[in-house]
Amino acid sequence: MSKSHIRLNKTTREWVIYAPSRQKRPQDFKQINLEESDSHYCPFCPENEDHLEPVILELPNPIKQGWQTRVVENKYPVLTPDTHPNRKMNGIYVTMMGYGQHEVIIESPHHNQDIATMPLKAVETVLETYHQRYLELMTAHENMMIIIFRNHGKKAGASLKHPHSQIIMTGIVPQHIRLREREAQRYYDQWARCLYCDMLYFELHTETRIITENHSFVCFVPFAAEVPFEMWIIPKEHQADFGSISSRQKADLALILKDALGRLYRKLNNPDYNYVINTAARYKAEEPQVHWYLQIRPRLTTPAGFEIGSGMNINPSIPELDAKFLRS
């Protein structure tokens, strides 16, 4: 198959995406050094637009002189919108076409910038871009889930040094997200309270894992952090859906996200990391048990055989000590 398709693993109920177009990416066939990547050849840099996919959305920089963010289709998409999400049988197995959408958010015209080092107003523009694309993509009935994520550094899967994030929209909801929703539902059915709100209340009162907070958000190392220096940024107000974020919250999220990544940048010498916005799947956006949050996972360790075989993570770092180090 030349186009993406998706298969269901019957033993785990997890979907697996097969994306042949990704084989065309040069970094899949040779080692790359992101530090040596040249802005002269970077398709995201100004004046290299002839190498860029058509621009879907462009927002101006804070002084209204030129652009700050651009959204383009991914040149090597995991999923594409020119098909449908209908399932079909292949013997005893379930498969479907690779329906979805894959976009890139170019976060700055400057090749060597990063969220941690950008002006705050520029970070606010990045989050405004996330929000606008999220709302637009969620208008189609077939779109079930949107993942907004950022890969920083080679170990995190970044293929270009130029600052960028990605959005992938799918017509399915992965099993691990359904599991997270079911656990939240089980807790709510038992206690009539949001699990994440209760976690947040406990963290704010114990304070041992809190890193920083502002009017709208709290940043902390989770009690059962799976990797060293993992951080969650959670809205204080109960919200299931990232799409419900207000203008005030966007400004506060920019402030606390820049702060959190700045701590990694300064204290851990700019480590590779991933962050992802975990938000409600479609039709869960107004339910009282779901609570969206932004998760930051530094790439400081490598999963080995036990982790792969057991599904358990081994974290050599203690969350309370990680929080103290990042907070100090």
pLDDT tens digit sequence for 227-266: 999 999 999 999 999 999 999 999 999 999 999 999 999 9
Of 128, 152, 172, which marks where a domain is finished? 172
Q: Is there a single domain that holds both residue 316 and residue 184?
A: yes
Q: Which residues does the annotation mark as catalytic?
A: 164
Nearest to 288 by CA among 182, 145, 188, 138: 188
Q: Is there a single domain that holds both residue 75 and residue 90?
A: yes
Q: Is there a single domain that holds both residue 129 and residue 186?
A: no
Given a cut of 80, whether residue 299 has pLDDT beyond it is yes
pLDDT of residue 286: 81
Given a cut of 90, whether residue 303 has pLDDT beyond it is no
Query: Band of the pLDDT at 120, cuts 50, 70, 90?
Result: very high
40 compared with 103, residue with greater pLDDT: 103
pLDDT of residue 94: 95
Given a cut of 80, whether residue 285 has pLDDT beyond it is no
Torsion, CA 90, CA 95, CA 96, CA 97, rounded to 10: -80
Nearest to 57 by CA among 114, 157, 135: 135
Q: Is there a single domain that holds both residue 153 and residue 14?
A: yes
152 compared with 2, residue with greater pLDDT: 152
Least confident of 12-21, 29-38, 219-228, 233-242: 29-38
Query: Band of the pLDDT at 141, cuts 50, 70, 90?
Result: confident
pLDDT in tens, 66-113: 999 999 999 989 999 999 989 999 999 999 999 999 999 999 999 998
Q: What is the tally of structural domains in the chain?
A: 2
pLDDT of residue 181: 92
Q: Is there a single domain that holds both residue 149 and residue 221?
A: no
Q: Is there a single domain that holds both residue 53 and residue 40?
A: yes
pLDDT of residue 111: 92
Q: What is the mean pLDDT of residues 287-299?
A: 95
Q: At what angle do helices 175-191 and 195-206 cross, to 10 degrees?
A: 80
The b-or-e profile of 244-270 (16+ CB within 10 A means b, else e) is bbeeebbbbbbbbbbbbbebbbeeeee
Least confident of 40-44, 244-248, 265-269: 40-44
pLDDT of residue 31: 45
Q: What is the pTM of this model?
A: 0.93
Of 137, 172, 207, which marks where a domain is finished? 172
Q: Is there a single domain that holds both residue 160 and residue 13?
A: yes
Give the C-alpha separation, 38 to 162, whole Å.
10
pLDDT of residue 49: 84
Q: Is there a single domain that holds both residue 212 and residue 104?
A: no
CATH number at residue 195: 3.30.428.10
User: What three-state secondary structure class fits 323?
Assistant: helix
Q: Is there a single domain that holds both residue 140 and residue 259?
A: no
Q: Is there a single domain that holds both residue 107 and residue 158?
A: yes
Give percent of the chain with pLDDT exceeding 70.
95
User: What three-state secondary structure class fits 280?
Assistant: coil
pLDDT of residue 1: 47
Q: Is there a single domain that holds both residue 158 and residue 183?
A: no
Given a cut of 80, whether residue 64 has pLDDT beyond it is no
Of 115, 150, 172, which marks where a domain is finished? 172
pLDDT of residue 311: 85
Q: Is there a single domain that holds both residue 136 and residue 12?
A: yes
User: What three-state secondary structure class fits 147?
Assistant: strand
* Domain carrying residue 290: 176-327
pLDDT averaged over every residue in the chain: 91
Least confident of 3-12, 23-32, 172-181: 23-32
On whether the CB atoms of residues 296 and 116 are closer than 8 A, the answer is: no
